[in-house]
Amino acid sequence: MPQQLLGEALPGPLPEWFPRGMALLRDPSLNKGSAFTARERDVLGLSGLLPPHVSTQEEQVARVLENFRRVDTPLERFIMLQSLQDRNEALFYRVIMENPDEMMPVIYTPTVGVACQQYGHIYRSPRGLYVSAENRGQVASLLRNWPYRDARIIVVTDGERILGLGDLGANGMGIPIGKLALYTACAGVHPRRCLPVMFDIGTNNESLLEDPLYLGLRRRRLTGAEYDELMAEFLDATQEVFPGVLVQFEDFANHNAFRVLQAYRDCCPCFNDDIQGTAAVTLAGVLSALRVTNRPMRDQTFLFLGAGEAATGIADLLVSALVAEGMEEAAARRRAWMVDSRGLVVRGRLALAEHKRPYAHEHPPVDSFLEAVEALRPTAIIGVGAVPGAFSREVIETMTRLNDRPIVFALSNPTSRAECTAEQAYAWSGGQALFASGSPFDPLDLDGRRFVPRQGNNSYIFPGVGLGAVAVQASRVTDGMFMVAARVLAETVHDADLAQGSLFPALSRVREVSARIAVAVAEVAFAEELAGIECPADLGAWVEAQMYHPEYVSYVG
């Protein structure tokens, strides 16, 4: 890989491979646009191809922001930023890193949901790789078509359960692209080390199959042995073509998510963000909330709305945290309850899915979520079922009657799927709710008090976990890494954050937080003998040295 792609200045004369003229302006990893100096323009065949003024990167950022703020709709802003990423990566990431509160809701949740729904209609230029059901027997050669040999992190989805929107087929490619943009913006993983993959095995979404602009395979989803064989070929090929590459599974449906993770987690470095990343960020939010309630973990009872991969992953990590504090595992599991579309998940129910069984406890059937709150008297309710409005006024008021400071996590996204809004949680609880959400909500004033809700967003967790794993070439990604990531994240929350209702740190600190998580994850990798390098004398400095900074370098002396 060219040194400049790793953020270093090019030494000596330009190599033969270095593009010139329009080819250079069309390479987003090298293009500086109007910031090319007069000397670079002369040497690189750019004279006359650019306006005469040599811009600073700061001037370019100002221009982007001015135009961004003129655009009316989030989707149009998404398209604008996507176009910027396609022509000048360094400028794109500098804009994101310097304005995270404004930009991250556009490049990811909640706008990415709308972008995925419209993906075939707003498609501009290729990004990432498509592995389809038609590529059986050819996946390794297909991966070799990727132009950058130093891929370290792959984010892959099969598009079956995109956010809370369901089966979006190949339109789900927006998710890996967005997640990997966050890897770079939040943790400094170099964009050339990031590979988005769409595992396109069809769609059962009739509207997409009938859409003339749909870009994916027009067939029903591959299932059963055929699905498993293609997934096995894909994962084998990732390790063959990019040895040691970390694979992050994203937005798979329950019936595949658990099975695929269990099949491969001990074979290669991989994790499922919806199961493990969501669990870690939720545990961090709980630990922050307990600093306000002054009640220990062992006194908590958690009630989930939803019983899928997110709920199970969160519950498993909460149980591990309780066990770490000395509670027996069986007793710890009884602290977590789940409500699905059929009511409270109980042991006597017939035909329980395997992943629900550990949280199916002895209890009479309960039909509604409100009745479950009344019966179980939870200290925390956690919404991960994508049932909008499910945390009704009656639910919040009941939680407040049962608890001085009820923990209310409405984690489903995009915003249209949120169980309640921040304003509802605070207003209906008289300002007592300890609230976090999956989508962003604006600060608000209530009864003379300022509330600043923050997202319980996986972007606080997975970038740091991935950075730590690849920095030390970890051969596996373990539950211990997510446990330590959650604890580190909670430790970064200041008392001033808690005083305004914020259970997570400001997004402006996310790179600092990710670096701390990465160091802690790397320490776990060494402790568990999973690291592929010798432990550096200064692990923190080693991790920092891996982080990309979107600054222009000089191409000519």
Instruction: Note the pLDDT tens digit of each residue in 30-68.
Output: 999 999 999 999 999 999 999 999 999 999 999 999 999
Which CATH number is 179's domain given?
3.40.50.10380
Is the same domain home to 286 and 428?
yes
pTM beyond cutoff 0.85: yes
Is the same domain home to 307 and 413?
yes
Percent of the chain with pLDDT over 90: 93
The answer to whether position 554 is within a domain reads: no
Average pLDDT on 230-239 reads 98
The answer to whether position 489 is within a domain reads: no
Please answer whether residues 474 and 153 qualify as being in contact, where contact means their C-beta atoms are separated by less than 8 angstroms: no
pLDDT range class, residue 3, cuts 50, 70, 90: very low
- pLDDT value, residue 156: 98
The answer to whether position 405 is within a domain reads: yes
The answer to whether position 225 is within a domain reads: yes
Is 356 one of the annotated active-site residues of the chain? no
Evaluate if residue 2 carries a pLDDT over 60.
no
The answer to whether position 15 is within a domain reads: no
pLDDT one-digit tens code per residue, 395-429: 999 999 999 999 999 999 888 899 999 999 999 99
Evaluate if residue 1 carries a pLDDT over 70.
no
Average pLDDT on 172-201 reads 97
Is the same domain home to 335 and 243?
no
The answer to whether position 148 is within a domain reads: yes
CA distances from 423 to 383, 416, 437, 512 (A): 16, 15, 11, 29
pLDDT range class, residue 10, cuts 50, 70, 90: low
pLDDT one-digit tens code per residue, 301-312: 999 999 999 999
Average pLDDT on 334-363 reads 94
Evaluate if residue 12 carries a pLDDT over 70.
no
Is the same domain home to 297 and 439?
yes
- pLDDT value, residue 132: 95
Percent of the chain with pLDDT over 70: 98
Collapsing DSSP to helix, strand or coil, 57 comes out as helix
pLDDT one-digit tens code per residue, 488-519: 999 999 999 999 999 999 999 999 999 999 99
Residues 6+ apart with CB under 8 A from 527: none
Is the same domain home to 311 and 258?
no
Residues 6+ apart with CB under 8 A from 368: 343
Angle at 251 between CA 246 and CA 253, to 5 degrees: 120
Is 214 one of the annotated active-site residues of the chain? no
Domain holding 391, by residue range, is 277-458
- pLDDT value, residue 6: 40
Average pLDDT on 9-25 reads 82
Domain-ending residue, one of 268, 292, 326: 268
pLDDT one-digit tens code per residue, 372-382: 999 999 999 99
Per the listing, tokens 């070929």 go with 233
Which CATH number is 383's domain given?
3.40.50.720
- Spot the catalytic one: 32, 93, 108, 426: 108
The answer to whether position 115 is within a domain reads: no
- pLDDT value, residue 414: 87
Is the same domain home to 226 and 311?
no
Computed over every residue of the chain, the mean pLDDT equals: 95
The answer to whether position 413 is within a domain reads: yes
Is the same domain home to 170 and 303?
no
Element (H, E) at 174: helix 174-187
Is the same domain home to 191 and 290?
no
Number of structural domains (the chain) is 3
Is the same domain home to 414 and 371?
yes
Domain-ending residue, one of 250, 268, 286: 268
Is the same domain home to 323 and 389?
yes
Please tell me which residue, 190 or 9, carries the higher pLDDT value.
190
- Spot the catalytic one: 32, 130, 179, 548: 179
Please answer whether residues 318 and 518 qualify as being in contact, where contact means their C-beta atoms are separated by less than 8 angstroms: no
Domain-ending residue, one of 441, 458, 475: 458
Evaluate if residue 171 carries a pLDDT over 90.
yes
Evaluate if residue 11 carries a pLDDT over 60.
no
pLDDT one-digit tens code per residue, 242-265: 999 999 999 999 999 999 999 999
Is the same domain home to 245 and 286?
no
Is the same domain home to 38 and 173?
no
